[in-house]
Amino acid sequence: MKKLFRLTQEGVDELKREHSQLVAQRVEVAERIKQARELGDLSENAEYQSAREEQDRLETRISEVEQVLRNCQIIKKPKSRSAVNLGSTVKLKAASGKTQQFQVVGTMEADPLNGKISDESPLGKLLLGKKVGDSVVLKNSTNVTYKITNIS
């Protein structure tokens, strides 16, 4: 059974941009390999070995990106703002008074440093289905309590 990757439209667009860049790099690396071959003995040719390793890395990533794009489901912005769903943007207030905002996304798109948390992360799991005014306790070394102040 194929794994279904859940992405926002923004995430799909970003993967398409990455794919285009990788394909362009593929051509450059192929040219580097060709030039390195012309230098002679490949067994001790550092330029050739380096270019081949880069080609392997590129081909692996191109395959990964293509698989995700073939097997993705686009997350639509939730129409209902009454509860946290995949794609919702949630504003949280910690007991300390500090506020944070996160968008709940699929695992492929998660980037906590940029405000995108996975629906499978501990906080993401706690938030799903909750409403404005609800509180959640993130059980970690400090057990932080967050109150949901806005869902968009």
Q: How many structural domains comprise the chain?
A: 2
Task: Identify whether residues 52 and 10 lie together within a single domain.
Answer: yes
Task: Identify whether residues 23 and 51 lie together within a single domain.
Answer: yes
Grouping H, G, I as helix, E, B as strand and the rest as coil, residue 59 is helix
Task: Please state, in angstroms and as integers, the Cα–Cα distance from residue 66 to each residue in 7, 53, 71, 108, following that order.
Answer: 14, 20, 9, 13
Q: Count how many Cα atoms sit within 13 Å of the Cα of residue 116 in the half-sphere of its side chain.
A: 13
Task: Identify whether residues 61 and 93 lie together within a single domain.
Answer: no
Q: How many residues does the chain have?
A: 152
Task: Identify whether residues 10 and 63 lie together within a single domain.
Answer: yes
Which range marks the domain in which residue 31 is found?
5-74
pTM for the predicted model, two decimal places:
0.77
Domain closes at, from 17, 39, 74: 74
pLDDT digits (tens, 9 = 90+) for 92-130: 999 899 999 999 999 999 999 999 999 999 999 999 999
- Work out the number of other CB atoms within 10 angstroms of the CB of residue 80: 8
pLDDT digits (tens, 9 = 90+) for 44-60: 778 888 999 999 999 99
Read off the pLDDT of each residue in 63-74 and give the average, rounded to a whole number. Answer: 96
